[in-house]
Structure 1
Amino acid sequence: MLYFVGLGLFDEKDVSVKGLEVIKNANKVYVEFYTSRLMGADKEKMEDMYGREIHVLDRPQVEQDPWWLEEAKEIDIAFLTGGDTMVSTTHVDIRLRAMEKGIETRLIHGSSIVSAICGLTGLQNYRFGKAATIPHPYTSTRGNTIISETPYDTILRNRQMGLHTAVFLDIDMNKGYMTVNQGIDLLLQVDEKRGENLIKGSIAVGIANAGSEKPIVKADFAENLKIYDFGSPLHIVAIPADLHFVEAESLVKLAGAPGSILEVEDKN
């Protein structure tokens, strides 16, 4: 049996009771930290809390050569991931590979940043469209710095349909964890390149350390968030479309948005 266990948002204590039971009873426990990780815990804290030795898998061992799947044919394996276990398409792929090998699978869900965004900001979950991810810029063969415009296009399409956008920020082994500041700056650069004002002058929301005792949640005009101190990662951004008056009030009271957005919503 292969168990997929979502560990939740921030530290080793976020795991569900059901998930903890699976971890304690499994014959072997694996974890991957590259799609997401618990910023309030490390491998040692997790092992102390769960009472088990945990084997860390790198990216190739998950995506390219998941040799450890063969073990699940004979014994119970717990595969741990940050957040909810099936948010990443990588984990869906692993489950499909296991099923092709005749391995039975079971999901133990964990709290997810997708729902946490709504709880922390007051933005309504049914009003979110397709999510986007901002990758780190890269250098082309000609030496030019390339900024992906795909997340910008996703925000544009969602905005046209009156939908909010959850914007995930890149995690790269070499370039590190992208911050709200970096993500907003990249969107503003695309804004300027296109001569549009999709991002500049619009309300954006930055969130840091969701699930911790003191998460940082700040809503402001995007250009102001570019210089706001969100502290340590993990970070995520939400770009709202037109706001319902309850959403606007929530952003003011829960995320410190400028009160002027209430006046705008009153006119709509």
Structure 2
Amino acid sequence: MAASQEELESYYGKEIILADRELVETGSKQILNNADKEDVAFLVVGDPFGATTHTDLVLRAKREAIPVEIIHNASVMNAVGACGLQLYNFGQTVSMVFFTDNWRPDSWYDKIWENRKIGLHTLVLLDIKVKEQSIENMARGRLIYEPPRYMSIAQCCEQLLEIEEKRGTKAYTPDTPAVAISRLGSSSQSFKSGTISELANYDSGEPLHSLVILGRQCHELELEYLLEFADDKEKFGKDVANDQEYFKPAAWVPPTEDDSDE
């Protein structure tokens, strides 16, 4: 968040309980306690319905006949338009988690393939590890948490390339154009246009980060905007033009007389 807990308490004039993932996922009773008698505000980063856990909390409140008022918030899901890509040209959003030695999930790959096949851009949300426990500490029941970790653009692109090499069906390639987004909505937000292989060597700086993989269709105004964030504008323009050949529908062939007789 852009403000600390102390700053929020000073602004609202009330004590704020920091609700970590464990509290939100397992402590709904604590959150809803006395909510039928007094106002309880549940503040989130991003839109309230950006997580299924929040939807579940609303359903629990309604089952207990607790009135719920939703105040929508700014979210990466709409603020991503600041990179110049039009929101209605986005497809399914995917999440990229930190790979481990024995866990390298790739279900997101198929969604990128589906998006690009119909010309839609893909927003990739990069992993955040805050107040996470190691497997060893969890097994031993020790409440010891790992230091916070935030995935970088470079690591995300490296993992993208690893899975493409493994799958080999060219949902994207090292030369697929993308745009890196860092610290969106802050005074230090930045964007960088490049191919996935180029961004695998990009120092994106302080978190938070996200990535957009372009669809095979890129409007001329989108491209004009993205070129402002490219180190080599001419090369990036060619990369986008070449990428549009992927998943390009075959040219329409009129039926022959024999076909029309059938």
What TM-score range do you get, normalising by the shorter chain?
Answer: 0.7 to 0.9
Kindly state the Cα deviation for residue 262 of structure 1 after the two structures are TM-superposed.
Answer: 3.1
Asked if 1 retains the 8 angstrom alpha-carbon contact of 2:121 and 2:213, the reply is yes
Post-superposition CA distance 1:175-226 (Å, at most 9, x none): 6222211111111101122235413111111111111112011110111111
Higher fraction of strand = 1
Is the 2:94–2:123 Cα contact (8 Å) retained in structure 1?
A: yes
Instruction: Report the Cα distance in structure 2 between the residues aligned to 1:131 and 1:265, rounded to whole angstroms.
Output: 21
Is contact 2:175–2:239 with CA below 8 Å preserved after alignment?
A: no
- Using structure 1 for the length normalisation, give the TM-score: 0.77
> Do structure 1's residue 182 and structure 2's residue 139 form an aligned pair?
no
| Structure 1, unaligned runs of 5 or more | 1-37, 140-144
Indicate if the aligned counterparts of 1:43 and 1:54 stay in contact, CA closer than 8 A.
yes
Confirm or deny that 1:193 pairs with 2:166: yes
Report what 1:92 is aligned to: 55
1:137-156 → structure 2 map (5 Å cutoff) = 137-139=99-101, 145-156=102-113
Answer with 1 or 2: which has the greater Rg: 2
What residue number does 1:248 align with?
Answer: 223
Could you say which residue in structure 1 is the equivalent of 2:235? 260
Contact kept in structure 1, 2:177 and 2:240, CA below 8 Å: no
2:90 to 114, 124, 128: 128
- Partner of 2:228, secondary structure, is helix
Question: What's the TM-score, normalizing by structure 2?
Answer: 0.79
In structure 2, list runs of 5 or more residues that go unmatched: 133-145, 245-262
Q: Deviation at 1:263?
A: 4.5
Q: Does 1:106 align with 2:106?
A: no
Q: Give the number of the structure with larger relative contact order, counting CA–CA contacts within 8 Å between residues 6 or more apart.
A: 1
Q: Which moved more, 1:150-159 or 1:254-263?
A: 254-263
Alignment partner, residue 35 of structure 2: 72
2:157 equivalent to 1:166: no
- Which residue in 1 is equivalent to 2:259? none
Q: What is the CA–CA distance in structure 2 between the aligned matches of 1:68 and 1:181, rounded to whole Å?
A: 38
Q: What whole-Å deviation, never above 9, does each CA across 1:75-133 have from its counterpart, x for those lacking one?
A: 10010001122211111111111111111000111111111111x21111111111101
Q: Tell me which amino acid in the other structure corresponds to 2:183.
A: N
Give the alignment's Cα RMSD to 1 decimal: 2.0
Q: Which among 202, 211, 235 is matched to residue 209 of structure 2?
A: 235
Q: CA deviation at 1:255?
A: 5.6
1:219 partner SS: strand
Residues 244 and 265 of structure 1 are in contact (CA less than 8 Å); yes or no, is this contact kept in structure 2? Answer: no
Q: What is the alpha-carbon distance in structure 2 between the residues aligned to residue 96 and residue 85 of structure 1? A: 13
Any conservation in 2 of the 1:219–1:257 contact (CA below 8 Å)?
no
Letter of the 2:193 counterpart: A
Instruction: Tell me the residue number matched to 1:226.
Output: 200
Aligned length: 224
Q: Which amino acid in the other structure matches residue 178 of structure 2?
A: A
Percent of residue pairs identical: 35
